[in-house]
Amino acid sequence: MKMYCAIGMIAVSWAQLEDMVSLCISRLLGTDHTTFLPIASNMQIKARFDALKTVAGLRLPPDEAKTMIARCDEALELGRERNKILHGSWLQGESDDVAIRLNYRAHGRVSADAPMMSAREIAEISDRITMLTEGFAQILQRLGLFDPKDPMRSPGKPSDRRATPN
């Protein structure tokens, strides 16, 4: 049961991260978030991260853009772990908080590598995803584009904050 809860935590934390990435894009574009959601919902997550990295580079001061881009890259790495966890084939381990993930590829090939993971290890990945989500929110908050007390309030169109190139 602990394993199922930990796997569920990954699903929830990743969904929150996806929502925050969409919010970041809409806020940096100066678009109402609810208007942007139909577009975001049709984008694969990698495309959302790529879009956010591009918009951040265009709209944010260089230090904030660098931070946001680094968070996107970290999230993409965590996305690989998320995929293995959520889409893996799990067998019960020696206790209810340990399981064995069967690694397999397309065309029915199963590798001999079957790593064990504990619920705690999975929960730690979920915590890292949650921390990234909070980091994105903090960047928006510093820029005046996010109010944690009223997260859906649109702050208005951001000005182009990027310094002009030489």
Question: Is 55 a member of any domain?
Answer: yes
Asked whether the CA dihedral 62, 68, 46, 161 is positive or negative, the reply is negative
Supply the range of the domain harboring residue 83. 2-87+119-142
pLDDT recorded at residue 106: 58
Q: For residue 67, is it within any domain?
A: yes
Residue 160 lies in a domain: no
Residue 110 belongs to a domain:
no
Phi-psi region at 163: left, alpha or beta (left = phi > 0; alpha = psi -120 to 50): beta
Res 131: pLDDT: 97
What's the pLDDT at 154? Answer: 76
CA distance 13 to 21: 12
Q: Let me know if residue 30 belongs to a domain.
A: yes
pTM of the model: 0.84
Let me know if residue 114 belongs to a domain.
no
With respect to residue 149, please indicate whether it lies within any of the assigned structural domains.
no
* Per-residue confidence (pLDDT) for residue 105, from 0 to 100: 62
Nearest to 115 by CA among 92, 139, 134, 99: 99
Strand 89-92, strand 98-102: pairing: antiparallel
| Number of domains within the chain | 1
Tokens 């260089």 sit at which residue? 62
Question: Are residues 117 and 133 in contact, defined by beta-carbon separation less than 8 angstroms?
Answer: no
In a domain, 166, yes or no: no
Per-run averaged pLDDT (10 residues), the chain, 166 residues: 89 97 95 92 96 97 96 96 87 81 66 78 96 96 89 62 44
Structural tokens at position 71: 């968070």
Query: Rounded to an integer, what distance in angstroms lies between the CA atom of residue 150 and that of residue 40?
Result: 21
